[in-house]
A and B are shown apart, each in its own frame.
Chain A
């Protein structure tokens, strides 16, 4: 079955530590996205990538970094510069840009907490 796999499901970060969230898709989608969701809120875009080896900052990129070395993988690193990282992180992918009327497919998220 095609889909998006996020791991781990739960992650704990110590002060001053960088942590990396994994996102893998086997849908052969060009575009991938990372969102942050806080309790009772909608999703906010952190980073997105329309194609391999290229990515752009979203609305809340500070304290985060990404890479897109392979089409199927788009890992997100939450750095120690992100002072309030506790949230639910969602990865998504789409065949093409949302501008050309493409829906997004989501993984089941990673819940990050501070120790």
Chain B
């Protein structure tokens, strides 16, 4: 079953603009991770945020986590054409017998030059 769901499914912006992607999940989590996937390639880990953290930064990336709303957002500032990719959130549940990553269906980001 899908735990995380990204919104929007697709996003198209101009180079230099900011891109915001959202992720909602259903059950309490241990941590939430964001990954990027270029077309036809494997996933690349971007940021991991723990359930007791509210915000993390890495370069032009900013991730927020609101556990009361069961949601997270990924902000990419000053976007570049090279940021064009699919972005996935993945969650690890707080409890259960098989506590593995569950991925959402992703947001396809297109950055136009």
- A-side residues, CB < 8 A to B, are 4, 6, 33, 35, 40-45, 48, 56, 58-59, 90, 92, 97-99, 101, 103-109, 111
- B-side residues, CB < 8 A to A, are 1-2, 4, 30-31, 33, 40-45, 48, 50, 88, 90, 92, 98-106
**The residue from B44, B48, B88, B106 contacting A101, defined by CB atoms under 8 A apart:** B48
**Beta-carbon contact of B41 and A41 below 8 Å:** no
**Beta-carbon contact of B48 and A103 below 8 Å:** yes
The distance from the CB of B81 to the nearest CB of chain A, in whole angstroms, is 21
A105-B45, A109-B40 known; A98+B100 contact, CB < 8 A: yes
The docked-state distance in angstroms from the alpha carbon of A43 to that of B106 is 9
The docked-state distance in angstroms from the alpha carbon of A97 to that of B98 is 10
The docked-state distance in angstroms from the alpha carbon of A98 to that of B31 is 8
List the B side residues contacting A48 at CB < 8 Å.
100
**The residue from B42, B98, B103 contacting A109, defined by CB atoms under 8 A apart:** B42
List the A side residues contacting B50 at CB < 8 Å.
101
12 A-B interface contacts by CB (under 8 A): A35-B103, A42-B105, A44-B103, A92-B43, A98-B31, A99-B99, A101-B31, A103-B33, A104-B33, A104-B45, A104-B101, A109-B42
**Beta-carbon contact of B103 and A42 below 8 Å:** yes
The distance from the CB of A38 to the nearest CB of chain B, in whole angstroms, is 10
List the B side residues contacting A108 at CB < 8 Å.
41-42
**The residue from A98, A106, A111 contacting B99, defined by CB atoms under 8 A apart:** A98
The docked-state distance in angstroms from the alpha carbon of A90 to that of B44 is 12
**Beta-carbon contact of B88 and A43 below 8 Å:** yes
Among A4, A58, A90, A106: residue with most chain B CB under 10 A: A106
**The residue from B30, B42, B48, B104 contacting A90, defined by CB atoms under 8 A apart:** B42
**Beta-carbon contact of A42 and B104 below 8 Å:** yes
**Beta-carbon contact of B106 and A109 below 8 Å:** no
The docked-state distance in angstroms from the alpha carbon of A90 to that of B31 is 22
A99-B92, A101-B31, A103-B33 known; A45+B100 contact, CB < 8 A: yes
**Beta-carbon contact of A106 and B103 below 8 Å:** no
